[in-house]
Structure 1
């Protein structure tokens, strides 16, 4: 499993609209092959800052399957105008501590 972590900085005053649109966009990402789950969290300390956590079966499910799909074009059209600057996106794998 891969964890995608995206830091989203939403333009001032657009937070409520962003959250409403994100609810619609959630249906897009959750329909993708390799998708496991996602959550959006709001930062307490910094207004307009969110973290998006998405679990994928493989890295390619995100980078190839989702990002190169027609569904991604719809996701982008819905959400990308809210961000300034453009989000930082990284991928993580779980460390086995046992």
Structure 2
């Protein structure tokens, strides 16, 4: 009985952690968004009502065939805040897709 309760409690905690929302850079100051990326190295953030982006601190957080390009996002206090980099395919001249 105690074992079942422990398993149930652990699964509830794990489920709550997985359900946490992405950080929303539009509600942060530019400095806070930059610090979040620097602290995390690579993070997926909300960038608008229905958009998100994976932002990295440097190319070491990209797969080996990727390079980086600067990523600017709207934050609470700056319209085009440099928050970090995006991983891009260097052979598509930095475009995200076709």
Same fold judged by TM-score > 0.5? Answer: no
When normalised by structure 1's length, the TM-score is 0.27
Higher RCO by CA contacts (8 Å cutoff, separation 6 or greater): 1
> Is the radius of gyration larger for structure 1 or structure 2?
2
